[in-house]
Structure 1
Amino acid sequence: MPRPKKWRKVGFIPEIRFYGPLDCDIENSIIIMSVEELESIRLMDLEGLDQNECAQRMMVARSTFQRIYSEAKRKIADSIINGKKLKIEGGNYTLNICKIICKNCGYEWKEKCEDIDKDIECPQCSSENNLICSEDEKNKVCRRCFRHRCGRL
């Protein structure tokens, strides 16, 4: 059984998700770009960060970032050179990944934190009440966490 993909953190989800030539009506010439591939282009080319900084922001290894970025550039080049449409959808991304700590047993894990309706429990002791969301090892409260803002933790 393959290892599950890790969530890639993105800081931007586009409102416009379809690009391409105006004079092309061929429906089978659509390239699908994932949201995390778009994020790699945004970080490297728009914000001007280096690969290490981009990888840290997306919470992936530098080599993983390089692979995502290379694939994104290839898709953009294919779209422009060959007159194909580019559609941005899907992927394995999240807007926020928080470090959750169970105060009951001390177990720590990372959790995707957009879905405020999803109740979480400690994978170690199944506690639902003694969980804190922290941004780093100093236990600063994660101000971006939707659960924290809505009083779910």
Structure 2
Amino acid sequence: MTGFLPNSVPPWGRCEVFLTLEGLEALRLSDFEGLDQETAAERMNVSRQTFGRILAGARRIVAEALVLGKTLTIDGGDFQFPARPPGRHRRRGGNG
């Protein structure tokens, strides 16, 4: 998903808010998977305090989009994908 769009335009017009990828990941770990903040912070390789700030900001953005009927766009952020262990590669399609 790259975003969500309200099914109607509010009287004040269409507005947009942005949720970073790390904000989405914090929401996924905490609210979807139900992890405690310490475990989720370890998964994201950040401190518990940093995780808490990311999560609070992400929740504020999602709430703003829902309450005010704003378009929610998921994009950007400051993150790195973890390195894969040698010899372990994800395969795409095919037979084997």
Shift of 1:23: 1.3
Give TM-score, length-normalised by structure 2.
Answer: 0.82
The higher-RCO structure (CA 8 Å, 6+ apart) is 2
1-side partners of 2:50 and 2:21: how far apart?
Answer: 15
With structure 1 as the length reference, what TM-score do the two structures score?
0.52
User: Which is helix-richer, 1 or 2?
Assistant: 2
- Percent sequence identity over matched residues? 36
Secondary structure, counterpart of 2:46 in structure 1: coil
**Which residue of the partner structure matches residue 39 of structure 1?**
25
Runs of 4 or more above 4 Å deviation? none
Deviations 1:91-121 (A, max 9, x none): 011221xxxxxxxxxxxxxxxx4xxxxxxxx
Aligned partner of 2:9 in structure 1 is: 24
Q: Is the radius of gyration larger for structure 1 or structure 2? A: 1
Q: What are the ranges of 5 or more consecutive residues in structure 1 without an aligned counterpart?
A: 1-15, 97-112, 114-143
> 5 Å matches for 1:1-153?
16-24=1-9, 26-27=13-14, 29-96=15-82, 113=83, 144-145=84-85, 148-149=86-87
Number of matched pairs: 86
Give ranges in structure 2 of 5+ residues lacking alignment: 89-96
Measure the CA separation in 2 of the matches of 1:18 and 1:62.
27
